[in-house]
Amino acid sequence: MSQPAAHKALVIGDGGWGTTLAILLARRGIQTVLWSHSKAQSEEWRTRRENTRFLPGVKLPEALSFSADPYSAASGVDLVVSAVPTQFLRSVAERFEDALPGDAPLVSATKGLEIETLEPPSEILRSVLGVREVCILTGPSHAEEVARGLPATVVASSRDKALALRVQAAFNGETFRVYTHSDPVGAELAGALKNVIALAAGISDGLGLGDNAKSALVTRGMMEMARYGVSRGGRTETFFGLAGIGDLVTTCCSKHSRNRAVGEAIGRGETLQTVLSRMNMVAEGVWTTKALFGPEAETEGVSMPIAEQVHAVLFEEQVSAGSGARPDAPRALRGDEGALVVSPMIGFVAAVASTVGFLVAVVVTGVKGRITVHIPCVLATLLSLSAAIWFALELGTVYDLSTAGAITPIHKLIVKLATASYLLPIVTGIRTLRSSEHRRLHFACAMVALVLTASATVTGTLMLLWSTKLVP
C-alpha cells in the first residue's frame, strides 16, 4: 500500500487561491489547516464555512481547520503550501521561521517578484526559512473556477522528482490535473511575467484596439517572457507549456483576471491609484512590473519592449491613449536608446561621406607621401561601416522582428566611436587645402570633403546629444 502524499498540510495565506488549495487538499482527505493573518477573519471563515471576502459562494469543507497562530497551525505538518502575495511574503514567512518543522517541504503557489530584491517567492522562502526543498505549483488556474470544481491543469515543478510526485499526489483529482515538471526556475518566472503581459493585454482591451492587436501583443509578450526566463536560467520549452503560454492565455483573456482588469481600466483612462484603491485582492503584475525595473533590475541586454511600456504607463506617468493621447503615438526613447534606433541610417550616410572625402583626398593630393592624410578617412569609414552593421542588426531587436541580439555596452561604445570619427575627415580637408598647388580645383574638391564630413559630424553628434527620439 502506497504512502499518503501528506498526513497534515498547512496552507499559509487565506486569499482566493490559498483557500482554493486548502479546499483541494481537504477534499483529498488530507488534514489541512488554513492560516490567516487575522484572527477575526479566521474565526469568520470557520463559523460561516465561507471565505466571504476572497471566495464568496463556495462552501468550505467541514474537515478544513483554521488558525491565525503560526505555531498551532504548523504543529505536526509534513507539507507546507505558501499562497501569500509576493510583496508580503517575506514578513509572513518570518512569522513561521521558528514554527515550521525543519524537514517539512514547501510548495510555492505565489506568482511574482519582490520589488526590493527581484527574488521570486521560492528564493524568499529559502532565505527566511532556511534551505529546504521547494516545489512550484503553477499554471492556468483561476481560484473562482477551480474551487467550484471546473477542470484545470497545472504543473508541480521541482528539481527533486520525488517532491514533485508527492505534490502531484496531494493535489491531483478528477477536475484538477497536476503534471510533474523539472524546471522550477522557468516555471516560476513564467508565472510572474505573464501577469505583466496581462496588464498590457488589458490596456489593449481598454483602448479598444481589437482582437488582432491583442493576439499580436500576447504572442510577442510570450517571446519576451521566454527571453527573460532563459537569461535567468529557465528552459525555453517551459514557456511554451502550461506554466507559460497556458497561464498567459488564461490571464490575458479571462474575466477573472485581476491583472487584465487593471490594465483595461487604465486603458480607459483611470489612474493606477484609483484602480488599486477599489480592489479587494492583489494584482501581482503591477508589482512584478515595478520589480523588473527596480533597484535590482536584471533586464540589461534582454529586449522587453512590452514590459518597458507597461512600466512607463504605470509608474512613469506616461499618458495612455485612453486619456487623450493618440493610440498610434510613437514612444519616446532616452538619448542612447534613440541613438541606437537611428544609427543604421546615420552610420551608412556617414560612411559614404567619409569614403567620398577619402577619394577626394586621393585625387587631390596623390597617394605618395600622403598616408597621414588618408588615415583619418580610412578610420572614419571603417568605424562608420561597423556601426551601421551593428545597428542594422539592432533594428531587429528594436522592432522585435527576429532573434536579433540585444543591445549591449559594446554596441553603444561603437556608435560613440563612430560618431567621434566623423570629425576625422575634416582634418583631411584642412590638410588638403594647406597642401594644394592647383588652388581652384583643389579648393572645390576639399570643400566637397568638408561639407560631407561636417554634415555627418553634426548629425552624429546631435544623435547622441538629443535626449529623445521618436520611433514607431
424 with 280, same domain?
no
319 and 371 together in one domain: no
Residues 47 and 143 in one domain: yes
Q: Are residues 205 and 321 in the same domain?
A: yes
What CATH number does the domain containing 401 carry? Answer: 1.20.120
* Same-domain status, 351 and 418: yes
- Please tell me whether residues 286 and 342 are part of one structural domain: no
For residue 160, tell me if it sits in a domain: yes
Residue 353 burial by Cβ neighbours in a 10 Å radius (0-12, 13-18, 19+) = buried
Cα-Cα end-to-end distance for the chain: 64
| Catalytic choice (39, 59, 161, 194) | 194
Q: How many domains does the chain have?
A: 3
| 324 in the same domain as 344 | no
Q: Confirm whether 1 is domain-assigned.
A: no
Q: In the listed set 329, 364, 393, which residue is the last one of a domain according to the structure?
A: 329
The enclosing domain of 320 has a CATH number of 1.10.1040.10
pTM of the model: 0.68
Along the 472 residues of the chain, how does pLDDT read in single tens digits? 355 788 999 999 999 999 999 999 999 999 999 999 999 999 999 999 999 999 999 999 999 999 999 999 999 999 999 999 999 999 999 999 999 998 899 999 999 999 999 999 999 999 999 888 899 999 999 999 999 999 999 999 999 999 999 999 999 999 999 999 999 999 999 999 999 999 999 999 999 999 999 999 999 999 999 999 999 999 999 999 999 999 999 999 999 999 999 999 999 999 999 999 888 788 899 999 999 998 777 666 788 999 999 999 999 865 444 444 333 333 333 334 444 444 445 555 555 565 565 556 555 555 444 455 455 555 555 555 555 555 455 444 444 433 334 444 555 555 555 555 545 555 555 555 555 444 555 555 555 555 655 555 555 555 444 433 333 3
- In the listed set 266, 298, 329, which residue is the last one of a domain according to the structure? 329
Catalytic site includes residue 194: yes
CA distance 246 to 230: 18
- Cβ-in-10-Å burial (0-12, 13-18, 19+) of 468 comes to exposed
Query: Do the Cβ atoms of 188 and 126 come closer than 8 Å?
Result: no
Any domain includes 2: no
Residue 114 lies in a domain: yes
Domain shared by 19 and 132, yes or no? yes
Q: What is the CATH number of the domain that holds 165?
A: 3.40.50.720
Q: Are residues 337 and 313 in the same domain?
A: no
CA atoms within 13 A on the CB side of 66: 23
Q: Are both 411 and 363 inside the same structural domain?
A: yes
Same domain? 32 vs 130:
yes
Buried b or exposed e, range 269-287, using 16+ CB within 10 angstroms: ebebeebeeeeeebbbbbb
Residues 360 and 449 in one domain: yes
Decide: 178 and 154 in contact? Cβ < 8 Å.
Answer: yes
| Residue 176 domain boundaries | 8-182
From 306, 329, 352, give the residue that closes a domain.
329
